[in-house]
Structure 1
Amino acid sequence: MTINRRNLLLSGAACTGASVFGFASLDEAFAQATGRLTVCLYPEPPSLMLGLTQTTPAFIVAGKIYQGLLTYDFDLNPQPGLAKEWSVSEDGLTYTFRLQENVRWHDGAPFTAHDVVFSTQECLPEIHSRARANFASVESATALDDHTVEYRLKTPFTAFLQVFEASGAPILPAHIYKGTDYRTNPANESPIGTGPFRLKEWRRGEYIHLVRNEDYYKEDLPLLNEIYFQIIPDSASRLVALQNGTVDVTGYDNIDYVFMPAIRESADFGITHDGYQFAAPLATLEFNTRSGHVADKRFRKAMLHAIDRDFIIENIWFGQAAPATGLVSSPTRYYKDTGPLYPYDPGQATALLDEMGLQPDANGVRASVKLLGIPYGDMWTKLGEYVKQSLSQVGIDIQIENTDPGNWASRYSNWEFETTFCFWYQFGHPGLGITRLYHSSSIAKGIYGSNTAGYENPEVDRLFDEAIREIDEEKRAAMYGRLQEILIEDLPNAPLFEIKWATVMRKGVKNVVTTAIGICEGFETATVE
């Protein structure tokens, strides 16, 4: 590859000041403009077609292949993606996007506004549950010309600018998918996108190999020649691979957090918690509030009072978490700090159980509750064991039910549990990440990411409905603030902690985290020495 340094200098901001571990200068960026980056990946995604597969591992890889109209900075402000400009009418009903020009699909076909209309109005609403909900408010979508798309909404949907990132609304090639069965189209195995990298090889169980898109519309980008995603199932092996240089980057919880203190002390690695603001995962103790003891909010409050979340953060998550202060994660827009949240107080827990008339038997047991263990790794197993031990101190007998990931998801979605753990993505806005969990219209058996708690509150429904339509920013913020107060009082689920996922990079790796999307972003300006 021959790099035109003059054009790189002219493009300026694309390579400077954009990341947590940024370039010292454009000269340094130019010097590092070739190379191979290796990223740890686990579990292996079932597919890279983002319309069909929304798992995080799929997004880590396919976020370099597909693109959305927008991305988001660390403060969750929209930034250009395939759209270079956008405007919103004063009544909040019309959104107009001006698209990047000279963009081509990986097969050479031109990208146009017709691809955007097809993706968001035909394909994704059929195969992508989140997109189906996000675009339900659209009355019409029109390609005004090849590089302009206009959306007219039925009613204001004030989270609309937050729905266009690549996992929620990946833009797909209409010339490949239109008129086909989206789920069985052969292109699903060889994805065709507009992103800075294209798929070269996928050796199942070993690695996924992406190579530079030589026709990328941003001149002289990407800077890397290739990316290998190394599939490493074993946690200890992932750590060894990072230490010996087999992999350059790992993210999320791919490294067991027990090893994070030592990694933080090493000069061989860089760590950042940026890049997770859009997801902003919030770990909760989930309740099926339809029956049993957990149907009574006093019991739910007693359980939360009996759990020492500081102990969990320090001894199970090893500092990779922060205490939750509500059912909205703090990086999310309209977050409100509702103050002290059911602090660890076994005495208060016992008082609430006494109030319910739950007296201890000869063995000290007041009540038994089944906990469906979440099979997502050792930390979650340890969390279940801790909660069992901690709640036993106030007379609540926790019976842990262990299962595999598929069965867990099925039982959870079909309300076949009393309690379980989960962690919820916020998607930058409570209207996207929170409404689905607590609005009564979202009570849908068999649907993951819905109101599995069975929580119903007419005032909460009204506030959610009004807040998403309210175009006055101050009034909207007040509504979301009131919602958070009600949810903390009703406690349909117990917020435990905000997960502080980490991206770990070997020394010499730069610009892999440039937005709130983190390592799921395109790696346009990433380099490795």
Structure 2
Amino acid sequence: MKKWLFPISIMLATSTALAGCYGGGGEDTAQSGDSGGDSDIKQEIVVNAMTEPPAIDPAIATDTTSGWVLDHIFEGLYTRDEEGNPVLGAAEDVSVSEDGKTYTFTLREDAKWSDGSPVTANDFEFAWERVLNPDTGSPFAFYMYYIKGAEAYNKGEGSVEDVGITAVDDMTFEVELNAPLGYMDSLLTLWTFYPVQQKAVEADENWAAEADTYVSNGPFEMTEWQHESNVVIEKNDEYYGEEEVKMEKVTFELVNEATTYYQMFKTGELDLVMTLPTDVIASERENEEYMEVPYYGTYMYMFNVEEEPFNNAKVRRAFAMAVDRQSLTDNVTLAGETPAYAMVPEGAETPEGDFREVGGDYFEENIEEAKQLLEEGMAEEGWDTLPEVTLMYNTSENHKKIAEAVQEMLSNNLDVDVSLANQEWGTYLDTTKQGNFQMARMGWIGIFLDPVVNLDYYLGDSPNNRTGWVNEEYDSIMAESKVEQDQAKRYELLHQAEEILLEDMPFMPVYFYKNTYMVNQDYENIAYYVNRYPYLKWAEKTQ
């Protein structure tokens, strides 16, 4: 039985997690080992992650590919059940102070690292302080700013001794917050909050770069990492819930060419692939192996507001208004995505209803108005002709098709010539991080269903905000929303923030995601969360 799993709680990149992006694919199936059910059935599965994971390190990872592996090999204080709800993981108990600001976790006595040593409160303290240490350069450190003293320490304005995380003893971990947080349990399912083993990290600063130095505490452990080829994880016999884990081996292949990995699925070399070639979706839609699953994220093009011509807000809006999103989703992407005219996707419930439905759209396609805005923006800058524009995307057949369609629309509707350029995912992340782009593709996935996770992306001091856009009013409203205890007022603030974001428009939303999969029907109990890639803890091969 396959399930779509919809988390019921709230907040944060996916993200964030990048949170927003794609993973890669790889080679042939490798098999070994038996477990559970029919002893003659090898409990192994080969899935396609598409690209080399940039960083399989809880403190450093920001992308969904790295996060997919991390979610299988680590476990935090909270994890998620088969329905996607947050439940206690490495912690067996938690108590919350009367004012809602202090959490005291009691760790499981049978929580162990993959080398057999116990997971302790000190491991959590060490891991979280490592994330916050400015020298680590963790892009997701801001997700810990809810913790007392965390922001000051991370920004070099405070001491680690003032951070509200304390290993009281080996089994007791205390966390002090700045204010009560209604989605604390969901927040702690993010890989940024996973423990790391201090001994392993201090023994080798590159401990997370190779399988032979890797230590983790989740249902699986990494046993092989052939860079640019595949990542192999195997059942962790030291995991306290190892009886729940049926799969003996999971291989993440790293094949980025969509036609290739689709054919590998058809020939049985891959058991699960996602992001299908757009030209096969119509023919596969009735196939029992085909699935479409909502995905809580936004596909967009970032504008570098520090580079011409996107230093001008009218030019940015003109580009956004000249793209026919419905045509893109109907004729190019073909997976039933929803055209996007805002940042926050559908799916975040509020007291007034779905956040997106309440907020509505912030702009629409209007070619005549777009032409007028472009003309006004050029006049403001003193340009007789628009500076040359290059649209960048990370290497993928589907990204290429979308970019080519946008390129044609901008040419037809605005008489603007746009060049295209692409880079492999890891290089692309570095390039955009350094601000070496004018207009670039990005995706952002919320780690749970709350608008704050989407809107945090464009905070002025967010390391994930690569646009150069900083708006003090936006940042102030977002900060206010995070301490507001009245939920109706909190969502009202988030609507205000999104309105500011879409008025200034440092990015161009394109569509809200939907994932397409082909899945071998020999497997059951794969968990399909709406904000993470498929989870295989309970997966089992039946024939």
TM over 0.5: yes
Query: Is 2:107–2:172's contact at 8 Å kept on the other side of the alignment?
Result: yes
Residue 191 of structure 1 is matched in structure 2 by 214
Q: In structure 2, do the counterparts of structure 1 residues 219 and 327 end up closer, same or farther at CA, with 3 Å as the change threshold?
A: closer
Distance in 2, Cα, partners of 1:456 & 1:202: 39
Give the 5 Å matches for 1:173-188: 173-177=197-201, 179-183=202-206
> How far does residue 466 in structure 1 lie from its aligned partner after superposition?
0.6
Query: Is 2:211–2:225's contact at 8 Å kept on the other side of the alignment?
Result: no
> How far does residue 313 in structure 1 lie from its aligned partner after superposition?
0.9
Distance in 1, Cα, partners of 2:494 & 2:53: 35
Distance in 2, Cα, partners of 1:417 & 1:201: 35
Q: Choose from 127, 138, 144 the match for 2:136.
A: 127
Code of the residue aligned with 1:301 in structure 2: it is: R
Residue 266 of structure 2 is matched in structure 1 by 243
Range with bigger deviation, 403-412 or 255-264 = 403-412
Query: Is 2:211–2:222's contact at 8 Å kept on the other side of the alignment?
Result: no
Residue 160 of structure 2 is matched in structure 1 by none
3-state SS of 1:67 partner: coil
Distance in 2, Cα, partners of 1:231 & 1:385: 25
Q: Choose from 496, 504, 524 the match for 1:510.
A: 524
Q: In structure 2, do the counterparts of structure 1 residues 458 and 263 end up closer, same or farther at CA, with 3 Å as the change threshold?
A: same
Code of the residue aligned with 1:370 in structure 2: it is: V
Query: Percent identity among equivalent residues?
Result: 22
Distance in 1, Cα, partners of 2:259 & 2:85: 37
Q: In structure 2, do the counterparts of structure 1 residues 519 and 492 end up closer, same or farther at CA, with 3 Å as the change threshold?
A: closer
Residue 65 of structure 2 is matched in structure 1 by 57
> How far does residue 80 in structure 1 lie from its aligned partner after superposition?
2.7
Q: TM-score, normalised by structure 2?
A: 0.79
Query: Is 1:37–1:227's contact at 8 Å kept on the other side of the alignment?
Result: yes
Residue 386 of structure 2 is matched in structure 1 by 367
Code of the residue aligned with 1:305 in structure 2: it is: M
Q: In structure 2, do the counterparts of structure 1 residues 298 and 19 end up closer, same or farther at CA, with 3 Å as the change threshold?
A: same
Residue 423 of structure 2 is matched in structure 1 by 404
Query: Is 2:410–2:418's contact at 8 Å kept on the other side of the alignment?
Result: no
1:259-298 CA-partner distances (Å, limit 9, x unpaired): 222222223x041415x4xxx3312222222354433333
1:16-58 CA-partner distances (Å, limit 9, x unpaired): x99339xxxxxxx956996222212322335544444444333
Give the 5 Å matches for 1:415-494: 415-428=435-448, 429-437=450-458, 439-442=459-462, 447=463, 449-450=464-465, 452-494=466-508
Residue 273 of structure 1 is matched in structure 2 by 293
Distance in 2, Cα, partners of 1:58 & 1:441: 23
Q: In structure 2, do the counterparts of structure 1 residues 412 and 289 end up closer, same or farther at CA, with 3 Å as the change threshold?
A: same
Range with bigger deviation, 218-227 or 366-375 = 366-375
1:392 aligns with 2:411: yes
Code of the residue aligned with 1:344 in structure 2: it is: E
1:69-120 CA-partner distances (Å, limit 9, x unpaired): 2235799753333234445445442123333331221111112222222211
Range with bigger deviation, 370-379 or 47-56 = 47-56
Code of the residue aligned with 2:293 in structure 1: it is: H
Q: In structure 2, do the counterparts of structure 1 residues 202 and 495 end up closer, same or farther at CA, with 3 Å as the change threshold?
A: closer
Distance in 2, Cα, partners of 1:496 & 1:239: 25
Query: Is 1:74–1:516's contact at 8 Å kept on the other side of the alignment?
Result: no
Distance in 2, Cα, partners of 1:391 & 1:185: 43
Query: Is 1:92–1:471's contact at 8 Å kept on the other side of the alignment?
Result: no
3-state SS of 1:265 partner: coil
Residue 294 of structure 1 is matched in structure 2 by 310
Distance in 2, Cα, partners of 1:482 & 1:133: 21
1:163 aligns with 2:179: no
1:20 aligns with 2:4: yes
Q: How many residue pairs are counted as aligned between the two chains? A: 486
> How far does residue 194 in structure 1 lie from its aligned partner after superposition?
1.7
Distance in 2, Cα, partners of 1:472 & 1:285: 34
3-state SS of 2:333 partner: coil
Query: Is 1:336–1:484's contact at 8 Å kept on the other side of the alignment?
Result: no
Q: In structure 2, do the counterparts of structure 1 residues 259 and 507 end up closer, same or farther at CA, with 3 Å as the change threshold?
A: same
Residue 196 of structure 2 is matched in structure 1 by 172
> How far does residue 215 in structure 1 lie from its aligned partner after superposition?
3.3
Q: In structure 2, do the counterparts of structure 1 residues 487 and 158 end up closer, same or farther at CA, with 3 Å as the change threshold?
A: farther
Q: Which runs of 5+ in 2 are unaligned?
A: 6-35, 149-162
Residue 538 of structure 2 is matched in structure 1 by 524
Q: Choose from 348, 356, 359 the match for 1:336.
A: 356
Q: TM-score, normalised by structure 1?
A: 0.81
3-state SS of 1:172 partner: coil
Q: Give the superposed CA RMSD.
A: 3.3
> How far does residue 239 in structure 1 lie from its aligned partner after superposition?
1.0
Code of the residue aligned with 2:327 in structure 1: it is: F
1:275-330 CA-partner distances (Å, limit 9, x unpaired): x4xxx331222222235443333332222221100111122211252111411222
Query: Is 2:125–2:165's contact at 8 Å kept on the other side of the alignment?
Result: yes
1:145-164 CA-partner distances (Å, limit 9, x unpaired): 44332101245566644432
Code of the residue aligned with 2:524 in structure 1: it is: K
1:38 aligns with 2:46: yes
